[in-house]
Amino acid sequence: MPTSYYPHPIIAREGWPFIAGAFALALLVHLFAGWLWALPVWLIALFVLQFFRDPPRVIPVLAGAVLAPADGRIVAVDKVQDPFLAREALKVSVFMNVFNVHSNRSPVDGEIRDRQYFPGNFLNASLPKASLENERNALWIKTEDGRDVTCVQIAGLIAKRIVCHVKPGENLARGQRFGFIRFGSRVDVYLPLGTKVNVGIGDKVRATETILAEFR
């Protein structure tokens, strides 16, 4: 099985300024106030470092597989109205806590047909209403065989920044990294009716490596 394209060396580039700042502050406190005062700051620096880890992942080769777009826990598997494409769809939601990898990866191969950003609240991302009320960024991806997939980055309680590196007209490969959310958040995937869902509420998933669903 091939390894996904990985342009960043182990630590996500979105985290480099935060990591540098946290370790610089810890070092200054250590030098001027001593190790005891610096210890909590070193712990915070280590937390920031682990938050921005971004390991490469192995892509399953199963035809028709829909891959997890993020690490975390499944908090919703529902038949709903896709608010972005105005259709009935199956929604699978992945909630990321602050200890999960927050790199977001494409669930399918396809072309980005549209990208929509919506400002909003910063409710707990595990709540159902977060899908419609929180700050969010939605990608409409059209697969080669004509299926529509909506992948939505949703900010959480303390997440204040959604990062998305792709735009309409570009193509994404399954498992390709397209964005990041800071700090604690959620990703919703809306799939065509009839898609076979392989996960249930409470399941833990890993971005790219877990097969969320399969097209029939």
Annotated active-site positions, please? 185
**CA-to-CA distance for 196 and 165, rounded, in angstroms?**
29
CA distances from 181 to 18, 48, 87, 97, 146 (A): 14, 13, 26, 11, 29
Residue 123: what are its φ and ψ, rounded to 5°?
-75, 165
Q: Burial level of 24, CB count in 10 A (0-12/13-18/19+)?
A: exposed
Read off the tokens for 44.
Answer: 């915070």
- Helix 35-51 vs helix 16-33: crossing angle, to nearest 10: 170
Contact between residue 125 and residue 154 where contact means Cβ atoms under 8 Å apart: yes
**161 CB neighbour count, 10 Å cutoff:** 12
